[in-house]
Structure 1
Amino acid sequence: MSKDLFISEKPSVAQQFAQALDIDPSRSRRDGYIETDRYIVTWCVGHLVTMSYPDKYDESLRRWRFDSLPFIPEVFRYEIIDSVKKQFDIVSGLLHREDVSTIYICTDSGREGEYIYRLVDMMAKVSGKEKKRVWIDSQTREEILRGIREAKPDTEYDNLSAAAFSRAKEDYLMGINFSRALTLKYGKTLSRHLGRDKNTVISVGRVMTCVLGMIVRREEEIRSFQKTNFYKINGMFAPGEADTDIKHGSFRAEFRSSDSSTKYAPTDLYKNNGFLKQEKAVEFMKSFQPFPREAVVESIERKKESKNPPLLYNLAELQNDCSRMFKINPDETLAIAQELYEKKLTTYPRTDARVLSSAVAKEIQKNISGLRNFAPLANYAGEVLTFASVKSIGSSRYTDDKKITDHYAIIPTGQGMREYQNLKPLTQKVYQLIVRRFLSIFYPPAVYQKMNVSIVSDGESFVTNSKVLKEPGYLTVAEVRRQAENAGTPDKASDGDAGEGQDGNSDEKPEADFSETLLRLKKGQKLKLVTMEMKEGETAPPKRYTSGTMILAMENAGNLIEDDDLRAQIKGAGIGTSATRAGILTKLEKIGYIALNKKTQVLTPTKLGELVTQVVKASVRQLLNPELTASWEKGLSYVADGTITEQEYMDKLEHFVRTKTNAIKNTRL
């Protein structure tokens, strides 16, 4: 009797497949696999195969020499990783068993997962078997069985496989050639600067070096920043004609400049609401004395403002929020998200999408219904089920098949509630974060009442703005954290953190309610300018990246490109992928190029990191530019969708590596 063989990426996933197939592992467990009379379930342990180092091509290449560079093999070699050779042999043996008729490829549904299996398949030289690719978004029983039922021939994923092999070859060629060439050229120089006896090895990578450059560049901007002092003016106003009314119902309004003023020159001003010199600010205030002075309400604008729920979480957004809220690094967030996925609580974590697919939107009621068993938010889930938005979510901004490549956004499955009780407290918090974000998209927008009052006194304008939350809408379930320190203050002018506020949903703290005085104001009403006050401030330098904002900056690297045509061409391209970005930061910290403050998650370059950046800037400057890295990543997506061939991509890559390596060799110190 023929059997179906299922091969997953790791043992824990194999267990989920076994359960979905109604296999009792305790009775069917073998060494490295599970077997019944119908099925065999086995697993990799991550990568079982890797690319061979140059010395495996030729022992003489073990020594780093300029005359062996550039190193670009005509045929790339691969080898089984020694530490997992036993499992490879087990998997390879199963793949070749005569009673195995169909192989179901169940590695992670993405480029890297495809690569893991294809390497095994290549090294095991599998032939004469039917191979089907299982593509799933969660590890629930229903989704696994659907994936098996709808599995497609693996040949339909050949382009994705080609992109995976191209990505690996790209990282290999750039890493080996540029690292060796730069070390040979500059290693001793760096050692002298660092006071080291041994030659300093310079590690270079397509993504890693670009990220290092972004962190160093931000640090240089902070060091070269020249602060500007400024002086803002506030007026204190009160209604009424008589002086006795001045003590009651007063309010502040901020000075706003006007082109017609005779009290100052445009060059005296800081933006449109302050002065660059203290004496000018004092002179301006004195021009209104003695107090009180007459004033009049020039205009009153009242309007409602709606704020929609933010889009769903992808991995980058989740990593950013966890860095900000829980002070954990992106690798820790990814590990938590992976655990939640493997325990069936959430969908596949390594996704760039922030929307649902139309197919999932049609069945979304199942996810919500399951959350009624999740005690902390059960009431909200029950309430959502009564909303019409559940049925209309498929036609909303939260569903868009065009914005999904491999997987839709991270959402709760509505299952696995027993597992929740055994999770660590931090993991429970992250799960709640995902559930709250998910439920919030079914709620109506938050509605604010805004009131803007413009006042004129002695020909000068003053403005006061107020904002009051009238209808909480989605904020009811979202529990938006209002952190004034993150939102900044009016006295600071900063470039801000890269990548924050992707949905325009910065935590803005509205007032509890409008003051009675403001509510009673009418256009043309006379007021008294009671007094004036000066408030000193200074501009702030750009903020350093945190681990979270760096992940977002990497995801949105295409936006950093100045050339409009190129930016449009690689729109949506980022540095690295959702599966690799966290690891890049971890590696940079491990090799001593950056430092991560574990309490604040702030990233800073080390002296070594800055020296490496200087070396790269002088030799292969393009590696520091987001456009190069993003364009390479876009090229890989073109290979994956069949727009270009693997050979076209490799020809371009090899030309770049050969040209730049030779340029380093010929550089004069």
Structure 2
Amino acid sequence: MKNLYIAEKPSVAREFAKALGMKGAATAGARDGYLENEDTVVTWCVGHLITMSYPEVYDPALKKWSFDTIPFIPEEYKYEIIDASSKQFQIVSRLLNREDVGRIYVCTDSGREGEYIYRLVEQMAGVDKSKKDRRRVWIDSQTEEEIMRGIREAKELSAYDNLSDAAYLRAQEDYLMGINFSRALSLKYSYTVRNYLGMDRCVIAVGRVMTCVLGMIVKREREIRQFVPTPFYRVLASTEGFEAEWKTTKDSAYLDSPLLYKENGFKKEESAKQLITELSADAPIELIVQKVEKKTEKKAPPMLYNLAELQNDCSRLFKISPTDTLNTVQTLYERKLVTYPRTDARVLSTAVAKEIGKNIGGLQKYEPLAQYAQYIMQQGGYKGVAKSKYVNDKQITDHYAIIPTGQGLGNLNGLNDIQRKVYDIIARRFLSIFFPAAEYEKVSLVLSRQIHTVVGEKENGTESFFANFKRLKNPGYLTIAGLSSDKKQEEQKLTDEELAKFASLKKGDAIPVQTFNIKEGETSPPKRYSSGTLILAMENAGQLIEDEELRSQIKGSGIGTSATRDSIITKLVTNKYIALNKKTQIVTPTFLGEIIYDVCLNSIQSLLWAEMTASWEKGLSGVAEGTISKDEYTAKMNKFVCDNTNAVKQIRNQNQITRLFDRTKPFYEKAGAKKAAKKS
């Protein structure tokens, strides 16, 4: 009997064939869709070969959109072969059912979507499960060593039945919400929207994840529009060598004063000037040292990359989209350079930690970081990594963090500039965790001066000034990760001599003040999302939820998954609901996107809620883990779809909703006028 290996893509099949020592593995097409020798057959899908059937396949009458035919909830879902992939499906189907194939190794991507791809093929091929020994290969990289380990340790496919159930339910959920809600909202509002915008046709496309992300972007844009900047005025004392900032304390005459913007600034410049007058009233003008605090602060290396963190950094550093980042790291994965990219974990597994010396050792041949890899190997500190925060089996679901394999370095020559840069930051982040923390020496000063004044019911007060100094004592991991600019502007970086001078100050010392200055500031609006920060916001959707109990319930669940978040952004751009600036990667809504938002806000409002979307994702994770049954989830899902579809059918607000559109329209008229002026 022969073993059949079925991969997700031809390129992956080639790697399996090579690892298995098959001739012709480099071309992997010698038999038109598969490779074979005396005891092994290797074949592949081309991504998805099967898709869910449209409603008209169930009943031709369902092709016409009508309120009479929704909600549409199939009792049994129908699937069909994708036309463009039919030839390869027939090849795979025939191989799966060959009598001389006794064991099937499922080698599709190790995750929910990869599981779904194979299960659909098996279902449509009508495989007699009683006659086949089905095994699941679960790997974290495409190195020969990892492929052979995955084959050796392959579990029975039935061990992944819960994951399969979650995959089917995710697809069914997106199908039901997309079909029913898009039809319901289009039937109710498309005529109104089409006429308002002067469009030929308008389909209101909504979805479980897509609409929630649109909501995040529109809400942020409206917060920015509604933001009114507030000026504030800070008082600074300039002495020889440094500045100190005034803040209220319990002894201040201005404590809890309505004149304050917050503890370190006034609402009006006149109040700041009054304080300076009071501080300058008596000679000599000096500040008395009340407290000197010296300490060493350590900054540990950051956690390893998961896909969301990597997408955010690539958006920020290289101005590439999340989709481009995923495609880039997927290429690195397929060339054996890094581990599996579609991961949410930022830690390593205990098993991988035991063998991590191989990854580090391989990087000794990567010239830009060779000296660091050699140093780590010589020191041997990596041997204790299993006891660090960078290793935690409980924080890993499908895969551990993205790290370099230490192999495939010969493939670097064939990479483009961005691919090499992405590989480099992954390698630097990885090696960083084997270096010591960066150490800073810090000195904090508290200085004071008495004033004689009347503020409200208070007479006189002790006004305090604060100054912080910082020096990098030991760069530690920053040596390899690169020195980052310090965002804390209040920490004044000084030389060793200057720092020692201020550290030598004692309580009671008097420091002459050269001048008191007023520094005007202004509150800032929220920042627009970039493609990277949007990915992070989707990953950490629970933080958007105000209700603490609900936030804790869905902790660890985000909007979408690491494998799908980039495609959600792409779909919103394709639908012209949002705009993505390719140069800056800044994301903004379009006028149509804001209209769709208002439509949802006044019909199926929960589609816009992060808590709803994240709770569905949490439920799917529960199904995959076996804590929620397939039937329980299905019942909840069907009820949600039916209730909301029927609710939309009862709405009678489509004529009034244009008033909401009118509120937004001026912002896009202004933008259009600016563009026209630039062109002229």
TM-score (norm 2): 0.91
Match of 2:596 among 612, 627, 638: 612
Letter in 2 for 1:596: L
1:281, 1:565 → 2: CA distance?
A: 43
8 Å Cα contact 1:469-1:511 kept in structure 2: no
1:178 matched residue in structure 2: 181
Q: Does 1:11 align with 2:13?
A: no
User: How far off its partner does 1:262 sit?
Assistant: 3.6
Match of 2:248 among 257, 265, 268: 257
Letter in 2 for 1:372: Q
1:46 matched residue in structure 2: 47
Unaligned runs of 5+ in 1: 238-248, 491-507
Identity of aligned residues (%): 57
1:582, 1:397 → 2: CA distance?
A: 28
2:631, 2:346 → 1: CA distance?
A: 32
8 Å Cα contact 1:469-1:512 kept in structure 2: no
Letter in 2 for 1:302: K
Letter in 1 for 2:127: V
2:53, 2:406 → 1: CA distance?
A: 44
Deviations 1:381-400 (A, max 9, x none): 01111334311101110000
Q: Does 1:314 align with 2:297?
A: no
Of residues 23-32 and 212-221 in structure 1, the stretch that sits farther from structure 2 once superposed is: 23-32
Deviations 1:240-287 (A, max 9, x none): xxxxxxxxx432111112343346871111211111101111121122
Change (3 A) 1:512 1:139: farther
1:133 matched residue in structure 2: 136
1:158, 1:116 → 2: CA distance?
A: 13
2:64, 2:496 → 1: CA distance?
A: 73
Letter in 1 for 2:331: E
1:374, 1:253 → 2: CA distance?
A: 47
8 Å Cα contact 1:635-1:649 kept in structure 2: yes
8 Å Cα contact 2:14-2:27 kept in structure 1: no
2:158 matched residue in structure 1: 155
Deviations 1:114-138 (A, max 9, x none): 0000000000001121111100000
Query: What's the RMSD between the two structures over aligned residues?
Result: 1.6
Deviations 1:34-61 (A, max 9, x none): 1111211110000000000011111121
8 Å Cα contact 2:469-2:492 kept in structure 1: no
Deviations 1:536-580 (A, max 9, x none): 110000111111011111111122222222222211011100000
The equivalences for 1:64-143 within 5 A come to 64-127=65-128, 128-143=131-146
1:84, 1:101 → 2: CA distance?
A: 25
Deviations 1:56-89 (A, max 9, x none): 1111211111101001111110000001111101
Q: Does 1:344 align with 2:346?
A: no
1:30 matched residue in structure 2: 31
1:590 matched residue in structure 2: 574
Match of 2:413 among 417, 421, 426: 421
1:480, 1:287 → 2: CA distance?
A: 43
Change (3 A) 1:602 1:292: farther
Q: Does 1:230 align with 2:198?
A: no
SS at match of 1:377: helix
2:498 matched residue in structure 1: 515
8 Å Cα contact 1:444-1:474 kept in structure 2: yes
Letter in 1 for 2:309: E
Change (3 A) 1:78 1:602: same
SS at match of 2:104: strand
The equivalences for 1:192-591 within 5 A come to 192-196=195-199, 198-237=200-239, 249-262=240-253, 266-289=257-280, 293-458=285-450, 459-482=462-485, 487=487, 510-511=493-494, 513=496, 515=498, 517-591=501-575
User: How far off its partner does 1:15 sit?
Assistant: 0.6
Letter in 2 for 1:625: W
8 Å Cα contact 1:138-1:341 kept in structure 2: yes
User: How far off its partner does 1:480 sit?
Assistant: 4.0
8 Å Cα contact 1:4-1:102 kept in structure 2: yes
8 Å Cα contact 1:263-1:284 kept in structure 2: no
2:67, 2:169 → 1: CA distance?
A: 25
Letter in 2 for 1:276: K
User: How far off its partner does 1:460 sit?
Assistant: 1.5
1:285, 1:330 → 2: CA distance?
A: 51
1:397, 1:463 → 2: CA distance?
A: 35
8 Å Cα contact 2:292-2:503 kept in structure 1: no
Letter in 1 for 2:2: K
2:381, 2:540 → 1: CA distance?
A: 30
Letter in 1 for 2:506: K
SS at match of 1:266: coil
Q: Aligned pairs, how many?
A: 636
